[in-house]
Structure 1
Amino acid sequence: MSTESTTAASNSKPGCSVSLPEPATTQTVALWQVHPRDNVLIALRAIAQGEVLPAPYQHLTALEEIPAGHKVAIADLAQGAEVRKYGFAIGATTQVVKAGSHIHSHNTATNLSGELAYNYSGCQATELDYPADLPTEFMGYRRKNGKVGTRNELWIINTVGCVNRAATRIAAEANKRLAAAGILNTDSVQTSIDGVFAYTHPFGCSQLGDDLAHTRTILAGLIQHPNAGAVLVVGLGCENNQLAKLLEASPGVDSSRIRSFNAQQVEDEVEEGIAAVEELLALMAQDQRTACPVSELVFGMKCGGSDGLSGLTANPLVGQVADLAAGAGGKVILTETPEMFGAEQVFMARARNEAVFNDIVKLVNGFKQYFIDNNQPVYENPSPGNKAGGLTTLEEKSLGAIQKGGSAIVEQVIQYGELASVPGLTLLEGPGNDAVSSTALTAAGATLLLFTTGRGTPLGFPVPTVKISSNSNLAARKPMWIDYDAGAMLLPGVDSQQFSKEFFRYLLQVASGQYTRNEKSDNKEIALWKNGVTL
């Protein structure tokens, strides 16, 4: 059942709030009305056909089975009636629906179609404060250019897929030597070096125009990343993504911490790479963690494998972190542009000024045009896994997904491959694909990724990737994937504000060196957005 107390994610605009369920006398609450204006409830456990609904809906009986995470109607709905969740319409019924019925794809469809016109009406969000009872510092690596990393790793970046295997062999041999020498940071050995990692990809050759530019800018963002205490860049020599051009696109890096060569110009590229890595590791061995203000953190917010609870537990929890980070003067980056469709006006109402508002309009309509140009439906987004988890329409998915942005003012909109440059909330152009968007967040400067999931995934990326489950069942089934259980927010008597503060304290521990599941499992990779012509 709903209450009038809301999470921090609800302060941005009436109608997009998430209300926590009232404390229950049993271990779990059965049904949840997210917003008082909703005409559906969310099943927090499977509801059997014929089961009488709990108070205050005991006058209703489930007319069919309602799977966990799915929706049940609490009023009779005519064909074409609005279905409301989060206080917003998430679609319309395609047939008459009786109270107690399962609401899903078989009887509900999207209301969205085509591009929309938007009107600026000023910023409706307010400035945020950082609570006095939270730490103001973490232990990070201050780089020569002033940026702060949460890890001290050596990254190997290749210009082209042709040298992928050479890059991975260099990394494997370097890590083998580090481990043998006892200077690789592990659970039992504490040093200043967190490892050598090769981030390979299949691109860089036969690319043209914007497609080549996308590859180059993402790789340049990785080269400049503060979690990389040093970088080895390996080229081939004849590729379109020329080594010299890539280095030119990476300004502001410490030149003493960069080594590079083209494999065609050396006798043995693996031995050449290992020699370069050993030089760089000798420099990195002198690096030490120092106290840094929370304002130096850069959070990347991502959801993947979402279910019907993602927008109710894990995403609002991450949204509260966004608000805490913004209040502290830190940076928060949100991407997955298609998962803003149907909820974009919430962000537009929080634009710092009209220029940012216009940038959001351009971001959203530009991505819609990308779908149209490729003859794809604009509003067909929920995946089979999303639908199995209870998400019916793109509006529903988007309204849940944007909870990750909290209630912070939108300060900036950046294009794919650009760096976030101002404190507060930044919207980043990018697709919803987990690997592509998470890589884009990293290249934009994120030093921690907060990845919410209801279905689960082992994916991880170059920076610590904190996996947050929307439900406790996933956390129990996949402890090797999940770092934090947001499903615990549904336990009786849980205070959402205190829960979010404890989570933030945990994140500061991660930023200070505590390894995440993806790091312990060595699930670290990148993916680039391929959207152009290949020769």
Structure 2
Amino acid sequence: MVETLAAAVRIGVEDDVAVVLQSLEAGAEIRVGRESVTLRDAIPAGHKFAVRPIAAGAPVHRYRAPIGLAQRDIVPGEHVHTHNVRTALAGENSHAFAGPGAETLTSNVPQAPSFSGYVRPDGSVGTRNELWILPTVGCVGRLGERLAMRGNAAIPAGSEGLDGVHAFNHPFGCSQLGADLDGTAAILASLALNSNAGGVLLVGLGCESNQLDALLERIPEARRGRLRILRAQAERDEFSAGEALIDELLAEMAGDRREEVPLSALRLGLKCGGSDAMSGLTANPLIGLMADAVTQAGGAAILTEIPEIFGAENLLLERSISQDVFDRLSALVNSFKRYFLDHGEPVSENPSPGNIAGGITTLEEKSLGAVQKGGLAPVKDVIGYGERIAPDKAHGGLTVLEGPGNDAVSTTALAAAGATITLFSTGRGTPLGSPVPTMKIASNHALAERKPGWIDFDAAIVLEQGMEAAADALLSRIIAVASGEPARNESNDERAIGIWKRGVTL
């Protein structure tokens, strides 16, 4: 008996494929729009099947755009994946500026509420009031971690103005040269300026390449009031000296209190990892609505992972507000492609094995789903790795940040750029957290049910309750976390940084 199921999703009539919401056997009849398609193959949940014939060599469309080329003739009902579709990406592309993108207002964003945050002297707002310990070099990373444990033990239970002491260990800061060393110094200095850090202790060894004094010069004088430095080799007892500095900072921070601020004060990082074919249907467009809600209120959103823009860059380029922004974004995408090619790697060396298992076939498909995290906000600025968003350019729009797709590296770069919360969509799941609250948005029910300790929000409710209801619910959760409720990564003490290593090691 053939069963007719309404169990597949297609974005638009232009699409050649649809995605199944549950695993289906060959012979099942699937309703797609006004037509029915009989499956010729068993289709795993999240994977695609053809809804019309696709000739060998023809583009295969999903998200109303090509995701690759058919390697052979594909018939309706056939499983569409890596065995019969290949990428069309090859190398660098030329782009022509057609004028500033028209600002598109998203009509179904939730009402912009306020949240309770920490207002800093420069007017920025933190979602946390934490003391961050940043080592200049891996040799003193463990010292920083020991000091953080001591600092947390010194905070009275139920303390209102102190949200914790956290050390961010890493293996770099020495045996680096040139731009590689500069990148390490830049990311650490920018982390020290994040608004979630109510106090910062920089811990140096003394003989490392990443010298404390040079690092300190990257931090504006006006931001050094709650910054202390510890030179381990210069102290007889470096731990006791560090304890004293932590006590000083905690005493200064103890009077800080949250106050109501508008949504425009939020700086939202946008990230995906362990994506599946549902990510572009549920979690990523939902995060895009959050980016629109924040930017339309006057806040800032930051998008990175440049290799996961390949094949979808035109969707961002056409939203550039000026020729300068367009040129810098085009150059950034092409420079990343050149980075791959110069190392003898194809630009399409993505998606990952987990992505493929989840139903993503090509990098174009992954990118078309991933860029939806940026919503429809105008692209107002493009910044380099380790740089911070410029308030005069970032507010009310999207900033594109140079960075790779690696989860630890890109979430760290978002925090260094100024993000005070990061929304992280995932179809496969990950416990990873960054220095700022890193909210995991599941693309499917199965993940949310299987890993409730990792997941902050189940975006699969989009398919049952609709996008607007899901957006209202997610924004309420974001406001709660911004106002102090722990994200899952914080409850699990999952906080780490990853630094982008690009040069030789001495």
Give the TM interval when normalised to the shorter protein: over 0.9
Matched, 1:495 2:479: no
- Aligned pairs (5 A) from 1:416-431: 416-421=385-390, 422-423=394-395, 424-431=397-404
Pick from 464, 475, 480 the counterpart of residue 504 of structure 1: 475
- Structure 2 residue aligned with 1:73: 50
For residue 130 of structure 1, report the CA deviation from its aligned partner. Answer: 8.7
Matched, 1:473 2:446: yes
Pick from 137, 142, 158 the counterpart of residue 160 of structure 1: 137
Contact persistence 1:130–1:324 (CA under 8 A): no
For residue 128 of structure 1, report the CA deviation from its aligned partner. Answer: 3.2
Residue 53 of structure 1 aligns to a residue in which SS? strand
- Structure 2 residue aligned with 1:391: 360
For residue 136 of structure 1, report the CA deviation from its aligned partner. Answer: 3.9
Cα separation, 2, equivalents of 1:259 and 1:55: 62
- Aligned pairs (5 A) from 1:277-292: 277-292=246-261
Cα separation, 1, equivalents of 2:6 and 2:93: 39
TM-score (norm: length of structure 1): 0.91
Q: Deviations over 1:39-64 (max 9, x none)?
A: 10101111111112235566421111
Cα separation, 1, equivalents of 2:290 and 2:486: 19
Cα separation, 1, equivalents of 2:388 and 2:165: 24
Contact persistence 2:106–2:376 (CA under 8 A): no
- Cα pair distance change 1:441/1:253, threshold 3 Å: farther
Of stretches 398-407 and 139-148 in structure 1, the one that deviates more from structure 2 is: 139-148
Residue 256 of structure 1 aligns to a residue in which SS? coil
Matched, 1:34 2:11: yes
Amino acid at match of 2:460: G
Q: Deviations over 1:79-133 (max 9, x none)?
A: 1121100011101111121110000000100111111111111133315379897
After superposition, the CA RMSD in angstroms is: 1.6
Residue 69 of structure 2 aligns to a residue in which SS? strand
Contact persistence 2:271–2:303 (CA under 8 A): yes
Contact persistence 1:450–1:466 (CA under 8 A): yes
Residue 60 of structure 1 aligns to a residue in which SS? strand
Amino acid at match of 1:256: G
Pick from 434, 454, 459 the counterpart of residue 461 of structure 1: 434
Contact persistence 1:224–1:253 (CA under 8 A): no
Of stretches 446-455 and 416-425 in structure 1, the one that deviates more from structure 2 is: 416-425
Contact persistence 1:224–1:251 (CA under 8 A): no
Residue 427 of structure 1 aligns to a residue in which SS? strand
Contact persistence 2:111–2:293 (CA under 8 A): no
Pick from 178, 195, 199 the counterpart of residue 226 of structure 1: 195
Cα separation, 1, equivalents of 2:50 and 2:388: 44
Cα separation, 1, equivalents of 2:172 and 2:234: 20
For residue 495 of structure 1, report the CA deviation from its aligned partner. Answer: 3.1
TM-score (norm: length of structure 2): 0.96
Structure 1: stretches of 5+ with no match in the other structure: 1-25, 183-188
For residue 256 of structure 1, report the CA deviation from its aligned partner. Answer: 2.8
Matched, 1:447 2:420: yes
Amino acid at match of 1:470: S
Pick from 71, 81, 91 the counterpart of residue 94 of structure 1: 71
- Cα pair distance change 1:55/1:96, threshold 3 Å: closer
Contact persistence 1:82–1:91 (CA under 8 A): yes
Runs of 4+ in 1 over 4 A off after TM superposition: 55-59, 129-133
Residue 389 of structure 2 aligns to a residue in which SS? coil
- Structure 2 residue aligned with 1:323: 292
For residue 408 of structure 1, report the CA deviation from its aligned partner. Answer: 0.8
For residue 512 of structure 1, report the CA deviation from its aligned partner. Answer: 0.9
Cα separation, 2, equivalents of 1:412 and 1:252: 25
- Cα pair distance change 1:266/1:137, threshold 3 Å: same
- Structure 2 residue aligned with 1:20: none
Contact persistence 2:109–2:468 (CA under 8 A): no
Residue 204 of structure 1 aligns to a residue in which SS? coil
Cα separation, 2, equivalents of 1:120 and 1:391: 30
Matched, 1:171 2:144: no
Pick from 379, 403, 414 the counterpart of residue 348 of structure 2: 379
- Aligned pairs (5 A) from 1:184-195: 189=158, 191-195=160-164
Contact persistence 2:112–2:297 (CA under 8 A): no
- Cα pair distance change 1:223/1:130, threshold 3 Å: farther
Q: Deviations over 1:394-449 (max 9, x none)?
A: 10000000000101110000000110112110000100000000000000000000
For residue 295 of structure 1, report the CA deviation from its aligned partner. Answer: 1.1
- Cα pair distance change 1:49/1:415, threshold 3 Å: same
Residue 68 of structure 2 aligns to a residue in which SS? strand
Structure 2: stretches of 5+ with no match in the other structure: none
Residue 275 of structure 1 aligns to a residue in which SS? helix
Q: Percent identity?
A: 51
- Aligned pairs (5 A) from 1:112-127: 112-127=89-104
Amino acid at match of 2:484: G
Residue 30 of structure 2 aligns to a residue in which SS? coil
Contact persistence 1:130–1:328 (CA under 8 A): no
